[in-house]
């Protein structure tokens, strides 16, 4: 199996709320200090005594990017209000963010705060998050930018109370939470049990005395799905709750989901999984043994003809090496309203094939020899046609052909090795 991708996926349904009980004041122009403009020459001093909409976003966040047309429309509608400023804030490198700002047509003042101070000041836990500030720098509302209406902005600039009906929104956690174990709380229900297990697994992650740990069982939490993976040097930690067996088996064995057939009894099977440890995870025989014996599953294989997708470089001038060379590499997949964004940061291109295979379920591989350089890419990937177009922006081609590969069939009953 190729090197495991560093994948962090947190997709949650959160309630949009106002800033009640959380109010704070600051001095725009002083406290709203950012390090660089991305598409603007705006300076922090320009923000003194102004009404401000702050939109916190990231290049890898699908809800952030999919919500930009709404923010752009508001900015256009209020363009004649000279004392109202729209700021889109990321803590990422200017060079990387600029590519995305241009591709997704940001009409706002896009700025970078590489210090991350603004995220701390406003306690940004999820992305996207928007903040409305009055002239005095008082936070009047905090929530999802999709919830902002013209009426809310009218109320802001007229110094009136801002009211908004709370709606459920989709957000992406900006970092994995540090959750203490709550295994003994005896909560009822599938969702509660899944949250309880997630907390226990994160406690294992945070416990340096636990060197290696394996948990694998059939899931009872079919209505709640959550996952977290982290790899650093020779150590890795992964937990996944209520993952479809087809997806789990493909990832664990390093194969495409299109290479897996399931018996009727396994079609709806989901699993809970947690692993903490070192290189033993890379041992294919160990992985398969854990998969089959712990779940009492039978596996057989035979050759089938399938579609294989090949990646290639057609223009080296279009793809740029990573701007974050001192950081650990990772990939994120983010979805919103049927749209998907795949972002890889500081990873070798060979790992991109693995990330795409995980997301699309097809075989992906590179043709030609790749160097060991690391790259940043942000791809629109709602379907294969969109992916191909998005890859082309970076000088990467995507072609397909039919080949014979092993196909694996899983059924109930312990496999006899």
170 pLDDT higher than 60: no
Q: What is the mean pLDDT of residues 325-352?
A: 79
- In this predicted structure, what is the pLDDT of residue 411? 93
Statement: residue 111 has pLDDT above 50:
yes
Residue with tokens 């599953």: 297
Q: How confident is the model over 278-337, as pLDDT tens digits?
A: 766 656 677 788 788 888 899 998 988 888 999 999 999 998 888 776 667 777 777 777
CB neighbour burial string for 121-136, b if at least 16 within 10 angstroms, e if fewer: bbebebbbbbbbbbee
Residue 36 has pLDDT above 90, yes or no: yes
Secondary structure E strands in 221-269: 226-232, 235-244, 260-262
In our burial notation (b when 16+ CB lie closer than 10 A, e otherwise), range 59-86 reads bbbbbbbbbbeebbebbeebeeeeebbb
Scanning 254-405, the segments in alpha helix (DSSP H) are: 284-295, 349-360, 384-393
Token pair 């009218």 is found at: 154
The answer to whether 57 and 124 have CB atoms below 8 angstroms apart is no
CA distance 386 to 378: 12
Q: Out of 72-86, 265-279, 333-347, 361-375, give the one with best mean pLDDT.
A: 72-86
Distances (CA, A) of 401 to 306, 315, 351: 8, 22, 21
Query: Residue 416 has what pLDDT?
Result: 45
List, in order, residues 6 or more apart from 19 with CB less than 8 Å away. Answer: 139, 140, 141, 142
Q: Which of 187-201, 262-276, 290-304 has the least mean pLDDT?
A: 187-201
pTM confidence score: 0.65
- Measured distance CA(407)–CA(410) in Å, rounded: 10
pLDDT digits (tens, 9 = 90+) for 223-262: 677 777 776 656 788 888 888 898 888 877 777 787 888 9
List strand residue ranges (DSSP E) for 245-352, in order: 260-262, 270-277, 297-313, 330-336, 339-348
What is the structure's pLDDT at 42? 94
Could you give the residue ranges of the DSSP H alpha helices within 230-370?
245-253, 284-295, 349-360
| Model confidence at 1: pLDDT above 60 | no
Contact 5, 331 (CB under 8 A): yes
């Amino acid at each position: 199996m190729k090197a495991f991708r560093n994948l962090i996926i947190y997709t949650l349904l959160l309630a949009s709320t106002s800033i009640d009980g959380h109010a704070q004041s600051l001095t725009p122009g002083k406290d709203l200090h950012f390090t660089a403009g991305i598409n603007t020459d705006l300076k922090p001093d320009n923000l003194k005594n102004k009404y401000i909409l702050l939109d916190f976003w990231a290049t890898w966040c699908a809800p952030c990017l999919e919500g930009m047309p709404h923010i752009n429309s508001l900015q256009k509608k209020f363009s004649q209000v000279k004392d109202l400023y729209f700021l889109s804030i990321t803590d990422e490198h200017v060079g990387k963010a600029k590519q995305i700002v241009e591709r997704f047509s940001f009409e706002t003042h896009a700025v970078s705060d590489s210090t991350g101070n603004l995220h701390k000041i406003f306690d940004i836990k999820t992305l996207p998050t928007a903040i409305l500030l009055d002239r005095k720098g008082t936070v009047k509302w905090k929530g999802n930018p999709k919830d902002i209406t013209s009426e809310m902005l009218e109320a802001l600039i007229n110094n009136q109370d801002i009211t908004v009906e709370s709606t459920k929104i989709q957000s992406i956690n900006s970092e994995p939470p540090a959750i203490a174990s709550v295994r003994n709380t005896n909560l009822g229900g599938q969702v509660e049990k899944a949250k309880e297990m997630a907390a226990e697994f994160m406690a294992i992650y945070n416990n340096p005395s636990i060197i290696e740990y394996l948990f694998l069982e059939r899931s009872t939490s079919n209505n709640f799905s959550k996952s977290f993976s982290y790899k650093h040097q020779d150590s890795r930690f992964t937990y996944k709750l209520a993952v479809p067996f087809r997806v789990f088996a493909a990832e664990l064995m390093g194969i495409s989901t299109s290479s897996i057939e399931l018996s009727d009894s396994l079609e709806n099977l989901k699993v809970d999984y947690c692993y903490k440890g070192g290189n033993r995870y890379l041992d294919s025989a160990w992985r398969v043994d854990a998969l089959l014996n712990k779940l009492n599953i039978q596996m057989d294989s035979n050759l089938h003809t399938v579609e294989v997708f090949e990646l290639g470089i057609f223009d080296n001038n279009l793809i740029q090496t990573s701007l974050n060379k001192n950081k650990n590499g990772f990939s994120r997949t983010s979805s919103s309203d049927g749209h998907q964004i795949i972002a890889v940061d500081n990873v070798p291109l060979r790992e991109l094939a693995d990330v795409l295979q995980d997301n699309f379920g097809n075989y992906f591989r590179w043709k030609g020899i790749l160097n060991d350089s690391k790259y940043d890419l942000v791809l629109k990937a709602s379907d294969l046609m969109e992916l191909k177009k998005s890859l082309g922006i970076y000088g990467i081609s995507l072609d397909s052909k039919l080949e014979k590969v092993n196909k694996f069939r899983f059924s109930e009953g312990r496999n006899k090795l």
